[in-house]
Structure 1
Amino acid sequence: MTDEDQVHRPGETVPVSGIYECDCGQGHEYSTDVKGHRFPPLHEACSGSGWKLKAPAHPGG
């Protein structure tokens, strides 16, 4: 499983700095997160369950 396939739950520690997308598949919610910080909660209107890495901050993670 690659970093892009893994779903991270709100409140978990961010493993790789980058841009994360809600996993609901609608492409409406993004978050820029820093390694070692915590993932933010999803908006109430979102039907997803967590965050998936869209683009790492640095190539190779």
Structure 2
Amino acid sequence: MSRYSTPGQVVPRSGVYRCSSEDGHVFESTDVKGHRFPPLPRDCPARGGCPSTADHP
């Protein structure tokens, strides 16, 4: 299973997900395992996000 999540996909693990693009745009979202990954802002050129911090033990 890929750690990369796209909007609408069920999040595989809890944590802070981050999308960043080459143009410097950054978007962070705190998500809970089993919930759906939220939509990205309209101006976000990325297609989804990867966990940037581990979930809390």
Provide the TM-score with structure 1 as the length reference: 0.76
Does residue 1:21 correspond to 2:21, yes or no?
no
Would the aligned equivalents of 1:23 and 1:52 in 2 still touch at CA under 8 Å?
no
Match of 1:56 in 2: 54
User: For the residues of structure 1 that align with 2:20 and 2:6, how far apart are their CA atoms?
Assistant: 10
CA contact (8 A) 2:6 2:37 kept: yes
Structure 2 unaligned regions, length at least 5: none
Map 1:2-17 → 2, pairs under 5 A = 6-17=3-14
Number of residue pairs aligned between Structure 1 and Structure 2: 56
Segments of structure 1 that go 5 or more residues without pairing to the other structure are none
Structure 1 segments, 4+ long, off by >3 Å, are: none
- Aligned partners of 1:19, 1:27: CA distance in 2, in Å? 16
Identity score, percent: 45
Please give the root-mean-square deviation of Cα atoms over the aligned residues, in Å.
2.1
